[in-house]
Structure 1
């Protein structure tokens, strides 16, 4: 009897382990590009994206980039959105609308966090009904000359195509994201944290 219970318990544990690993992904943050939200060394549990249709603005996604397998960024734009950057201010014209909406920043702190010796100014910002913090140094240039250039649009403006998203790191001056890499195709998205 004990042998049967042991085997059954072992089978249940093995099936649970496999099911857990099919549904979830554990990652360790490898950079400060999401600071102040996440710091290097933080460990996250993400839901694997088997079907990417439920990705929304404000979600955190894990995707593969040409130079790195696991990159975590925040979704700023979804298919049909027009993203416009003017200096460091982000504007979104959401799909199906003609209204240009500024992501307004409200100061939270200055100098409590730093990056490579630069004090970071932390701001609360909002997309739809999702609030989160972003950081800027105020001294790092925008590097607009390195921006991904979408055909038929001015520099600093992107129209998100079907099956893709536009992402940015919360530590805006120290993030390589869609501004430089271009759009993230849904087939490259491995995990998600819903907000």
Structure 2
């Protein structure tokens, strides 16, 4: 793994910090603190013995330094103090982020109009199964992804990158895309025309429709002036299960894999270009926009 990939893998960084601070906390609680206590007991015994000798000689001892002496010896070194303070916080964040919910930021327009650039979303990490952090190995099955789910996954061509798209095909499905319309297992999806969508960033309009996928109604965008996709045959793993013809395609989704597409259909690099997403690449199900600093009205759940 390259240095850039390691630095970009926040889960790995968080795991290392949790382990390091946890080891320091453990050593301090069970070993170093006891050593400091033993040293303090020896020093206090010597201090008391010296004061006893002074008192025996008729000299009034000064006992005011006893507490300061004890506190000074028992005081944690700065690096231990900070590690012990940070450990429970880091450990809590690591557990929450690894097994429950993880935040992501939408970096591109491929999921417009469902998700906008700058949306800060939450991803459910356990709905598709419990996975070990960092290595992303599933250890407990819960649910399988369903058509219509918005899913975060590791980009098949670069596992250091997280992508987000919509599940349009599950294992065994026959997916066809023709004239910018989807057919799943021989059944054409229902579509309803909506008012054109204004992209305020580019000041351009796109055709907007409602697509009903497995009972999940969601909006999609089409650019009438753009081809469905560049129709050159792709050489991704499992490409032999797909056929490409003049901008249209048909694919059979292999076992343990999923076919993903962006809702902004003509502005999305997805399974049409780089192939299927294997189960081991799954991160979780996106379900909630918790913040968009440019538009607070975006906060809330989404389809």
Question: For this structure pair, what is the TM-score category when the shorter chain's length is used for normalisation?
Answer: 0.7 to 0.9
- Structure of higher CA gyration radius: 2
Q: Number of residue pairs matched?
A: 180
| Corresponding residue of 2:279 | 186
The answer to which of 168-177 and 114-123 deviates more is: 114-123
The answer to which of 49-58 and 126-135 deviates more is: 49-58
Q: Does 1:154 align with 2:247?
A: no
The answer to which of 105-114 and 29-38 deviates more is: 105-114
| Corresponding residue of 1:107 | 193
TM-score for both structures, normalised by structure 1: 0.82
TM-superposed deviation, 1:147 = 5.1
Q: Structure 1: 5+ residue runs without aligned partners? A: 1-9, 94-99
Q: Which has the higher strand share?
A: 1
TM-superposed deviation, 1:111 = 4.0
Alignment of 1:1-195 (within 5 A): 16-22=92-98, 23-48=100-125, 49=128, 50=130, 51=141, 53-65=143-155, 66-67=157-158, 69-93=161-185, 100-113=186-199, 116-146=202-232, 148=234, 150-151=239-240, 153-155=242-244, 156-193=249-286
Change (3 A) 1:161 1:53: farther
Change (3 A) 1:158 1:115: farther
1:92-141: per-residue Cα shift (whole Å, max 9, x none)?
Answer: 00xxxxxx111222112114336745411111111121111000111111
TM-score for both structures, normalised by structure 2: 0.54
Which structure is higher in RCO with an 8 Å CA cutoff and minimum separation 6?
1
- 2:167–2:260: 8 Å Cα contact kept in structure 1? yes
TM-superposed deviation, 1:21 = 1.5
Change (3 A) 1:114 1:125: farther
Task: Give the whole-Å Cα distance in 1 for the aligned partners of 2:89 and 2:230.
Answer: 52
